[in-house]
């Protein structure tokens, strides 16, 4: 069992001036000594944030934060199995008229494939992924 961190938790922490160590301490205090990781999608989202920063100071702060995240956490790639799981979930939910944002879909599929929970502040983004356990920090 483990925990995949949704990007929104990382972004909120960076904006508050917290380090990745702070996030990990909170996650482990709440959920125990579990594996904590990221989906490769979060790497895309954090990197995107670096390059859309309005000032050089913001860009530098975001880059330093992201580098710490990438050093301290395992980043799970989007494998064939994860991609197929995401496609199945998206197809099944679309047939019911439910749309799931691609980023959240892949993060959720990564967690399901690994038998991990997803930690997020945006429960509504993940609630339509069947079988996914969603937790907050």
* Mean of the per-residue pLDDT values of the chain: 96
Q: Look at residue 1 and tell me whether its pLDDT is greater than 90.
A: no
Q: What's the distance, CA 29 to chain centroid?
A: 19
When pLDDT is cut at 50, 70 and 90, the band that residue 65 belongs to is: very high
- Of all residues in the chain, the percent with pLDDT exceeding 90 is 95
The CATH number assigned to the domain with range 2-135 reads 3.40.50.1010
Q: Identify the pLDDT of residue 134.
A: 97
Q: What is the pLDDT of residues 19-52, one digit of tens each?
A: 999 999 999 999 999 999 999 999 999 999 999 9
Secondary structure E strands in the chain: 2-5, 35-39, 74-76, 117-119, 134-135
Distance CA 93, CA 20 (A): 34
Q: Which pTM was predicted?
A: 0.94
């Amino acid at each position: 069992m483990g925990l995949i961190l949704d990007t929104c938790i990382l972004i909120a922490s960076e904006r508050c001036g917290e380090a990745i160590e702070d996030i990990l301490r909170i996650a482990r205090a709440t959920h125990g000594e579990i594996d904590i990781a990221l989906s490769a999608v979060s790497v895309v989202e954090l990197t995107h944030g670096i390059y859309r920063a309005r000032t050089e100071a913001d860009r530098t702060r975001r880059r330093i934060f992201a580098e710490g995240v990438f050093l301290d956490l395992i980043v799970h790639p989007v494998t064939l199995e994860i991609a197929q799981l995401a496609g199945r979930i998206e197809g099944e939910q679309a047939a019911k008229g439910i749309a799931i944002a691609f980023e959240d879909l892949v993060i959720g599929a990564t967690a399901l494939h690994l038998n991990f929970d997803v930690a997020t502040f945006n429960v509504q983004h993940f609630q339509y992924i069947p079988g996914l356990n969603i937790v907050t920090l």
